[in-house]
């Protein structure tokens, strides 16, 4: 059917593409790709020859309008990112919104996603979780972001770059204490897939002992505890509410 297909692609292991994803990629008119060279490798592996068009951070807005016009005219367009689910810390969201605004159907074609894959094997609570994407690269902003995390029983999920992970773990220690339980998933679905689980200090020492941390990383924090300061602030605000009610 005409419309926009948001197609998930593997995050490492090429077997993690679905039969439906392959059929859709084969049969659409065009594939909008974050990086055409990256997607070309995938298409070549599966013998798919559908024409590609680039769709990334820098032309997302302009391209969305262009592609929305094609969609209105009845085209079938797939959107893929370099890896995983489009729209999740990746381009795709604007195009979906543009298609919806143009009255065009949008079809999710679900598949691999690093955050969910890391979460389900982390051993941390999957009942309630919050996905934050990437933390700020600057330390001050990163600490503020950590301090601002919700403290009411949700597992926190972050994407992090290998060259920043040790600094980030230092900040996690500083804000939540050395004993804060975390899980770190590296190179998911790939040959050197690895999980490190335990108090942040321990995971951090394990990583620090390596000459170089490489690969793609998902960082998860177990639900964080109310700190004394935050607790005092929340008690104060409850008292204020009660006082108001009395007046
Ligand atoms: N759209 C993708 C998804 O659905 O997971 C995420 C794209 S985001 C630009 C890339 C980040 O996702 C990486 O820096 C890393 O934090 C995480 N990631 C992607 N693939 C991964 C893998 N195989 N193992 C661990 N983390 C991965």
| Range of weakest confidence among 32-41, 167-176, 210-219, 232-241 | 232-241
How many residues belong to the chain? 247
Mean pLDDT, all residues of the chain: 93
Give the pLDDT score at 228. Answer: 62
Give the pLDDT score at 105. Answer: 98
* CA gap 100, 59 in Å, rounded: 19
Phi, psi of 236 (to 5 degrees): -60, -40
Tokens found for residue 70: 């094609």
CA of 154 to the centre of ligand 1 (A): 21
CA of 189 to the centre of ligand 1 (A): 11
CA of 21 to the centre of ligand 1 (A): 19
Q: Residue 8: is its pLDDT beyond 90?
A: yes
What ipTM does the predicted assembly reach? 0.99
pLDDT digits (tens, 9 = 90+) for 207-229: 999 999 999 999 999 999 876 65
Of 34, 41, 31, which is closest to residue 55 (Cα–Cα)?
Answer: 34
For 176-195, b/e burial (b = at least 16 CB within 10 A) is beeebbbbbbbbbbeeeeee
pLDDT digits (tens, 9 = 90+) for 52-78: 999 988 888 889 989 999 999 999 999
Q: Residue 234: is its pLDDT beyond 90?
A: no
Probe target for ligand 1 pocket from 35, 84, 96, 184, with the most ligand atoms within 8 Å of CB: 84
Q: What share of the chain is helix, strand, coil (3-state, %, to 5)?
A: 40, 20, 40
Q: Which residues contact ligand 1 via a Cβ below 6 A?
A: 11-12, 81, 83-85, 88-90, 113-115, 159-160, 185, 187-190, 216-218
CB atoms within 10 A of CB 79: 29
pLDDT-derived band at 232 (thresholds 50, 70, 90) equals low
* CA gap 225, 221 in Å, rounded: 11
Across the beta sheet with 194-199, what order do the strands follow? Answer: 129-134, 155-160, 217-221, 181-186, 194-199
* CA gap 232, 44 in Å, rounded: 59
Residue 156 contacts residue 172 (beta carbons within 8 Å):
no
For atom 2 of ligand 1, which residue has the closest CA?
A: 84
| Range of weakest confidence among 133-137, 204-208, 240-244 | 240-244
Bigger pLDDT: 238 vs 143: 143
Give the pLDDT score at 195. Answer: 98
| Range of weakest confidence among 19-23, 168-172, 214-218, 223-227 | 223-227
* CA gap 223, 156 in Å, rounded: 7
CA of 115 to the centre of ligand 1 (A): 7
Q: Residue 237: is its pLDDT beyond 90?
A: no
**Mean pLDDT of the region 92-114:** 96
Residue 26 contacts residue 99 (beta carbons within 8 Å):
no
Helix (H, G, I), strand (E, B) or coil at 220: strand
Q: Residue 35: CA atoms inside 13 Å, Cβ hemisphere, count?
A: 8
Residue 217 contacts residue 196 (beta carbons within 8 Å):
no
Probe target for ligand 1 pocket from 16, 86, 89, with the most ligand atoms within 8 Å of CB: 89
Residues ≥6 apart with Cβ < 8 Å to 119? 126, 129, 155, 157, 220
**Mean pLDDT of the region 39-43:** 98
Full-model pTM: 0.91
């Amino acid at each position: 059917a005409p419309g926009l297909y948001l197609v998930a692609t593997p995050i490492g292991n090429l077997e993690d593409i679905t039969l439906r994803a392959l059929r859709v990629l084969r049969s659409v008119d065009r594939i909008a790709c974050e990086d055409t060279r990256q997607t070309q490798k995938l298409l070549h592996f599966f013998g798919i020859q559908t024409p590609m068009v680039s769709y990334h951070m820098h032309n997302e807005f302009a391209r969305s309008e262009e592609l929305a016009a094609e969609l209105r005219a009845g085209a079938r367009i797939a959107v893929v990112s370099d890896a995983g689910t489009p729209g999740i810390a990746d381009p795709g969201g604007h195009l979906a919104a543009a298609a919806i605004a143009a009255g065009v159907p949008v079809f999710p074609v679900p598949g691999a996603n690093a955050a969910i894959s890391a979460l389900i094997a982390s051993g941390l609570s999957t009942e309630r979780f919050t996905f934050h994407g990437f933390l700020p690269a600057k330390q001050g902003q990163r600490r503020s972001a950590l301090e601002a995390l919700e403290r009411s029983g949700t597992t926190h999920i972050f994407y992090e770059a290998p060259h920043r992970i040790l600094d980030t773990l230092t900040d996690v220690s500083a804000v939540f204490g050395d004993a804060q339980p975390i899980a770190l998933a590296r190179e998911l679905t790939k040959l050197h897939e690895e999980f490190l689980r335990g108090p942040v200090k321990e995971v951090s020492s394990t990583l620090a002992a390596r000459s170089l941390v490489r690969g793609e990383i998902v960082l998860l924090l177990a639900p964080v505890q109310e700190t004394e300061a935050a607790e005092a602030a929340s008690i104060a605000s409850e008292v204020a509410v009660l006082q108001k009610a009395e007046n």
